[in-house]
Amino acid sequence: MKLSNLKPAEGSIKTRKRIGRGQGSGLGGTSTRGHNGAKSRSGYSRKIGFEGGQMPLQRRVPKFGFNNINRVEYKGINLDVVQGLAEAKQLTKVTKSDFIAAGFISSSQLVKVLNNGSLTVKLDVEADAFSKSAIAAIEAVGGNAIKL
């Protein structure tokens, strides 16, 4: 087998329909466009979303919802993740920069510590926000929840 004698599988290639090449081809004359009307003429293009006069989909379907421009989005990090990070790096104070270094958040994201899992080590945790139960869990083991 050589590159020079490779062929596509039998029946996998169809010849292109060559329209507008005379009456003898069977595809001359109107060149598959039918007779008269805007669609038969060169330069025709209908408006995007036009459905032949029927009420278009984007006008039939109602608008709903809104985007609150004042929304503050936090990346949630659970207490068991904080515990694991503190144990792995032998930390007594976990800061936002530790979360960034560990790859949990990017530098532009805000952190909210959530109470999922348990905390057994006394830690000072710095974050942008805390859930009430997370604050209680951190303070229960003698740590501090520090809001940035």
| Banded pLDDT at 118 (limits 50, 70, 90) | confident
Helices 132-140/79-89 angle, 10° precision: 40
The domain limits of the chain are 74-147
58-82 confidence digits (pLDDT tens):
999 999 999 999 999 999 999 999 9
What is the overall mean pLDDT for the chain? 93
Q: Hey, which CATH number is domain 74-147, 3.100.10.10, 3.20.20.140, 3.40.50.720, 3.40.50.2300?
A: 3.100.10.10
Residues 77, 104 contacting (CB under 8 angstroms): yes
Tell me: pLDDT of 139 over 90: yes
Residues 110, 147 contacting (CB under 8 angstroms): no
22-43 confidence digits (pLDDT tens):
999 999 999 999 999 999 999 9
Alpha-carbon gap, residue 100 to 127, rounded angstroms = 12
